[in-house]
Amino acid sequence: MQAVKWAFEDFVEGASIDLGARHVTAREIIEFASEFDPQPMHLDEAAGKASILGGLSASGWHTCAMFMRLLCDGILLDSTSQGAPGIDYARWKKPVLAGDDLTATVRVLATRISRSRPSLGLVTMHSEMQNQHGESVFEVENTIMFLSREAGAGA
Amino acid sequence: MTLDEFFAVGKTVELGSHTFDAKAIKAFARKYDPQPFHVDEQVAAGSVFKKLCASGWHTTAVWMKLNIATDMAASDTDWDGPGPRPVFGPSPGLRNLKWLKPVYAGETVSYRRTVLSHRALSKRPGWCILSIRGEASDSTGDKVLEFDSGVMVQVA
């Protein structure tokens, strides 16, 4: 197997990792909401403007999914990731609106080797997405499992 | 009618079930979570999960789909408490989300919702926040998903 960029050893406590950017389109907001969260403010510009969210806004679950894609492209698809058991918390801090340009950053909070399985490491991350105005719109904290570089190379 | 009755605090509501077929698992994952075990059966066979399984964000999104389809106002009689009928608003977030077991292609998952409590928002007069637990189980009865979320409600 070709060596991947991100194994457990590559995550250093305190480090920040840039995950790149994503443009949010009205079409995508409506497409996601039609399937999973068909509330008026996620489906229609006028209804969004009339709502507390102030415009056609992405479902919070869509925001999670968009963050996940940035995390995949920025780290997971070129890593020894073994998945994540869950999310400590996620906050939908401000509406994500059609036309927004989101950027995501991960900060490594803690790393530790699994007691039961020394070839596996646990990386706790605090991640954030900002919009084009520099406002923090989404925050999430969770722990992802990564194989060590040696175990990953043998996988 | 009290707000407790209106929100049916403590009562677990069945939201229905959803079958995750391979095609839908891959379609969601290609857009939002293209890790090999969510998009390719062959690669999934050699992965930590052993079989094609749904993105955790796909299984949670389906909770929302079924949640929206089942009215948050629990009672079939209309609001007759003091003030206007409560209006449901946005959610500030979620916590303690656990993907307890993979949801494999072909699996049928049953979803539930429980309103745990409500409290007034001191910073936003006229609004309260509901604390909600979402859960899901697979066809063997094993829990595959749980989380706590909040929903803001305008009550005055």
Q: What is the pLDDT of residues A105-128, one digit of tens each?
A: 999 999 999 999 999 999 999 999
Query: A20-71, pLDDT tens digit by residue?
Result: 999 999 999 999 999 999 999 999 999 999 998 999 999 999 999 999 999 9
CATH number of the structural domain spanning residue B71: 3.10.129.10
CA distance linking residue A71 with residue A18, whole number of Å: 9
Q: Which domain holds residue B17?
A: 3-154
Q: Quote the number of domains for chain A.
A: 1
Shortest distance between the Cα of B64 and any Cα of chain A, in A, equals 6
User: What DSSP line would sit under B78-119, residue for residue?
Assistant: PP-SSSSPPEE----EEEEEEE-S--BTT-EEEEEEEEEEEE
Which helix H or strand E contains A47, and what residues bound it?
Answer: helix A45-50
From A81's Cα to the closest Cα of chain B, the distance in A is 9
Chain B residues contacting A via beta carbons under 8 Å: 31-35, 37, 48-49, 55-57, 60-62, 64-65, 68, 89-100, 147
| Residue at A53 is within a domain | no
Is 80 exceeded by the pLDDT of residue B73?
no
Cβ atoms of A59 and A35 closer than 8 Å:
no
Q: In chain A, which residues touch B (CB < 8 A)? A: 32, 35-39, 52-53, 59-62, 64-66, 68-69, 72, 76-77, 81-93, 95
Query: Percentage of chain A with pLDDT > 70?
Result: 97
Q: What is the CATH number of the domain that holds A91?
A: 3.10.129.10
Asked whether residue A104 is domain-assigned, the answer is: yes
Please count the structural domains in chain B.
1
> Smallest Cβ distance to A64: which of B34, B57, B95?
B57
Provide the residue range defining the domain that includes A72: 8-23+67-154
pTM: 0.95
Shortest Cα distance from A31 to chain B (angstroms)? 12
